[in-house]
Structure 1
Amino acid sequence: MALPCESERRWSRAIKMIFCLFFLIPMSSAGNRNTNTIFGKKQKLEVQQQLKRLNKPALKSIKSPDGDIIDCIDIYKQPAFDHPLLKNHTIQMRPSSYPKGFSANSKPKFSQPWHLNGRCPKGTIPIRRTKEEDLLRAGSAANYGRKNHIQNTIDENVHQHATLTEDGDRYYGMMAEMNVWNPHTQERDEFSVSQFWMIAGRNGVDLNSIEAGTMVSQSLYGDKNTRLFTFWTADAYTNTGCFNLGCPGFVQVSHQIAMGATLSPLSVYNGPQYTVNFYVRRDIHGDGNWWLTIADRFDLGYWPSSLFPLLSDTAEAVKWGGEVINLNKDGQHTTTQMGSGHFAEEGPNKACFFKNLNVIDGKKLLRAPSHTHTFIPKPNCYNLLDYGDYFYFGGPGRNPNCP
């Protein structure tokens, strides 16, 4: 049996311990939050240097209703010219020639919300301003605009596709029209894209690829809006290439369209359908650059052929379709949607489509696809129905047949 004075001492010590814990626990939690969310001095400096590199001095800035800031940058001071191979590059303002019956610079069919509050003047290009929180989501300043380690894996359980491929020839370009949707994404590091690829080399070894389309990516943009994007890689997504203008490479000439900016209007299930046209071709009579024309004959810019060891000549394959990231959280397939979120068999006004498909083949002739095959590894999750020069594709992801 404890003596009264000893009992009082024990109570006193217990009260002091409770008092200390009461104050120490919040302080410890705050310390953890600081460790997890605030960069150290070195990382902070890296972020500021990267922001300075990405955000060139603007001649004009426009606040978009969706929260983006669009900076109008002198066309000769755009990020492309930070690339060592492009230090003395002369901008090619337009392709050296156009196919018969093709006219450039007609009015785009779609709009971007920032257009409501202003336009960039000629002699500039619009660039979505990169914010500090964009770099924080990327995990490091160096990773911004690139595919993260999850998205960079070649595991088909993670990367899930529904695509149509034309190969067996040499390719100098392609054309396609795609309707635009806003698919749901489940996890922050998952994305949903509808796009084309022009490819040379082998995946995972020496793949060269130029790509463009529409995407929803919360990890890249911080929201779930549907946005226009471009991408390129010269080494199978390992060390080169990035989305949009997140690294030097793509040379933009348009002062009207901002890559990475939100698109509108969007297609409505069983309602109005809105499309974007893509046309990419190698300027064989000029510098050999790969030009991207978008939104009905509107020259956006080009990938210099000097960026690529293999695509400096021709592509070996052309691919169209959708891709999602499936993180398989809690052992369940993701609910991230592809396309409209509905299967291909639902058809017109309900499923996502590519139509008016054409390739520029080894004879430099524009023709419909002829040597095609589909890639649909998870047909119960996402599928594709091919009808020759058009196809429907997409799906909801997790469902009773895709657990």
Structure 2
Amino acid sequence: MRSFLIMFVILFGFYNEAYGKGSLDIDMKLKALNKPALKTIKSQDGDIIDCIDIYKQHAFDHPALRNHKIQMKPSVEFGETETKIPNNGSAQQITSQIWSKSGDCPDGTIPEAFIVALGYNFLGARSDLNVWNPPRVQPNDYSTGQIWLLAGVSSDNFESIEAGWMVNPGVFGDYRTRFFISWTSDGYQNTGCINLLCSGFVQTNKNFALGATIEPVSRSSQEQYFISVNVFLDPNNGNWWLNTGINVIGYWPGELFSSLKHSAIAVQWGGEVYSPNMLQKPHTETSMGSGQWADYLYAEACYHTNLRIKDNSLQIKYPKYLNEYADESDCYTTRLYRKTYMSEPYLYFGGPGRSRFCP
């Protein structure tokens, strides 16, 4: 079962079905991929990064991409946005990963890490996402802060691309906060996965490893750290590009999708907890965000800020009409915060999981 905290443009009806992924055995999966490394880098945080030939990455094992030619950069850009920090606080953007201090992938390779709006046509979305390490994540659970772009009309057969940070011991084997992406073309019934564990996403950046740790992380009443997540459509070919403001990571090819190759009809920002112990007693102890309630606000709760969308006007704008949703409001909460009615919106979210309010 999954618990969601989502703020999106006009309430959309299939958020409760947005995940169906199970844990994967990393070693077995990587052996099955059998992608030879041209260089191996051992990171100081213990991660092993393999630099593999960009043309032999797992994306091209997908049948739809057999004749795909790599697009090394988008033919359009997301556009520039001004970073604004909630409550006039201070925060630093994370622009590099720990492993890159130990070496570089050669040119022609990419690194692999071992370890809503309804009725609109969205061509992109972004946010700056506060990075935390949620406490008490249980071995069979995961906790995320992320952005979703979705299309399709069926709750059982939707299309989705996702990006953000995640703590997932079942996949990564530890409790570190790591950058992740995910996608599906059929509601995670038969397609999709985390990062590069299945074919599909085409990586073009040799300096950024999907699944690598994100450090430093924010701490209560101390310095705050954030990542920028930008996802946008190249309308000339249907590819959805991912960048972090500094790094263009790669793209989901349009050939993977039916509806999403043209536009998304829902954008969601928030967090998610997956656990076998949701909606029952005792509830999971896995927390979301910082582990604090949304009402604690800046430097205590996790947040999305600088929320932006791009529509058919090709203009970057913040969503004018917003709704909030939390499907277990005794366990996790949201707060859509504005200084004034029409000022910049911030979404705070999170919660402790099991507590006296959430037995």
Same topology, TM > 0.5? yes
CA contact (8 A) 2:140 2:275 kept: no
Q: CA deviation at 1:390?
A: 1.6
The whole-number CA distance in structure 2 between the counterparts of 1:53 and 1:77 is: 14
The correspondence of residues 108-127 of structure 1 with structure 2, limited to 5 A, is: 109-127=94-112
Q: For residue 30 of structure 2, give the secondary structure of its aligned residue in structure 1.
A: helix
Secondary structure of residue in 2 paired with 1:359: strand
Q: In the alignment, is residue 371 of structure 1 matched against residue 321 of structure 2?
A: yes
Superposed displacement of residue 167, structure 1: 3.3
Q: Tell me the TM-score normalised to structure 2 length.
A: 0.83
Q: Residue 26 of structure 2 contacts residue 114 of structure 2 at CA under 8 Å; is this kept in 1?
A: no
Which among 302, 319, 333 is matched to residue 268 of structure 2?
A: 319
Specify the SS of the correspondent of 2:132. coil
Give the aligned partner of residue 180 of structure 1: 131
Give the C-alpha shift of residue 101 in structure 1.
4.9
Alpha-carbon distance between aligned partners in 2 of 1:378 and 1:61, rounded to the nearest angstrom: 43
- Alignment length (residue pairs): 317
> One-letter code of the match for 1:248?
S
Distance 1:346 1:319 in 2: 22
Separation of aligned partners in 1, 2:315 and 2:80: 14
Q: What SS is found at the alignment partner of 1:321?
A: strand
**The residue matched to 2:228 in structure 1 has which SS?**
strand
2:172 matches 1:193: no
Asked whether 1:89 is paired with 2:68, we answer yes
Q: Retained in 2: the 8 A contact 1:212–1:231?
A: yes
- How far residue 68 of structure 1 moved from its aligned partner, in angstroms, is 2.0
Shift of 1:98: 2.1
Higher RCO, 1 vs 2 (CA within 8 Å, ≥6 residues apart): 2
Aligned residue number for residue 293 of structure 2: 343
Distance 2:261 2:74 in 1: 16
Letter in 1 for 2:247: F
Q: Which residue of 2 aligns with 1:78?
A: 57
What residue in structure 1 maps to residue 167 of structure 2? 216
1:55, 1:338 → 2: CA distance? Answer: 35
Please report how far the alpha carbon of residue 261 of structure 1 lies from its aligned counterpart in structure 2 after TM superposition.
0.9
Question: For 1:381, which of 331, 354, 357 is the aligned residue?
Answer: 331
User: Structure 1 residues 314 and 47 mapped into 2: Cα distance closer, same or farther (>3 Å)?
Assistant: closer
Kindly report structure 1 stretches of 4+ aligned residues shifted beyond 6 Å.
Answer: 46-49
The alpha-carbon distance between structure 1 residues 224 and 303, as it changes in their structure 2 partners (threshold 3 A), is: same
Counterpart contact for 1:185–1:192, Cα < 8 Å: no
Equivalent residue, structure 2, for 1:41: none
1:393 paired with 2:343, answer no
- Contact kept in structure 1, 2:143 and 2:288, CA below 8 Å: yes
1:111 deviation in Å? 3.1
- Give 1:289's match in structure 2, choosing from 239, 246, 255: 239
String of CA shifts for 1:68-113, please: whole Å, max 9, x gaps: 21000111111111111111110000001225558xxxxx833322
User: Which one-letter code corresponds to 2:305 in the other structure?
Assistant: K
Alignment correspondent of 1:51: 30
Q: How is 1:221-260 mapped onto 2 (pairs within 5 angstroms)? A: 221-260=172-211
Q: Indicate conservation of the 8 Å contact 2:78/2:124, yes or no.
A: no
Q: 2:255 is paired with a residue of what secondary structure? A: helix
Secondary structure, counterpart of 1:291 in structure 2: strand
Larger radius of gyration: 1
Post-superposition offset of 1:66: 2.9
**In structure 1, what residue type is equivalent to 2:193?**
C
Structure 1 position 49, deviation (Å): 7.9
Asked whether the equivalents of residues 49 and 112 of structure 2 are also in contact (C-alpha less than 8 Å), the reply is: yes
Partner deviation per Cα, 1:225-268 (whole Å, 9 max, x = no partner): 00000000000010001000000000000011100111111111
Aligned CA distance change for structure 1 residues 256 and 328 (closer, same or farther; 3 Å): same
Using the size of structure 1 for normalisation, the TM-score is 0.75
User: Residue type matched to 1:110 in 2?
Assistant: T
Q: 1:63: Cα distance to partner?
A: 1.1
Residue 156 of structure 1 corresponds to none
1:109–1:361 distance in 2 versus 1, CA, 3 Å: same
Provide the rounded CA distance (Å) in 1 between the counterparts of 2:28 and 2:133: 34
Q: Which amino acid aligns with 2:288?
A: M
Judged with a 3 Å threshold, the aligned counterparts in structure 2 of structure 1 residues 357 and 124 are, in CA distance, closer, same or farther, namely same
Check conservation: 1:326, 1:333, Cα contact below 8 A. Answer: no
Corresponding position of 1:353: 303
Contact persistence 1:194–1:322 (CA under 8 A): yes
The residue type paired with residue 401 of structure 1 is F
Deviation digits for residues 257-287 of structure 1, max 9, x if unmatched? 1001111111111100011001111001x32
Structure 1: runs of 5+ lacking an equivalent:
1-45, 103-107, 131-164
One-letter amino acid of the structure 2 residue matched with residue 369 of structure 1: P
User: Greater share of helix residues, 1 or 2?
Assistant: 1
Rounded to whole Å, the distance in 2 between the matches of 1:49 and 1:336 is 27
**Match for 2:273: what amino acid?**
V
Shift of 1:346: 0.6
Give the match for residue 114 of structure 2: 129
Q: In the TM superposition, what whole-angstrom CA distance separates every residue of 1:2-52 from its partner, at most 9, and x where no partner exists?
A: xxxxxxxxxxxxxxxxxxxxxxxxxxxxxxxxxxxxxxxxxxxx9998534
**Alpha-carbon distance in structure 1 between the residues aligned to 2:106 and 2:130:** 29
Structural RMSD (CA): 2.1
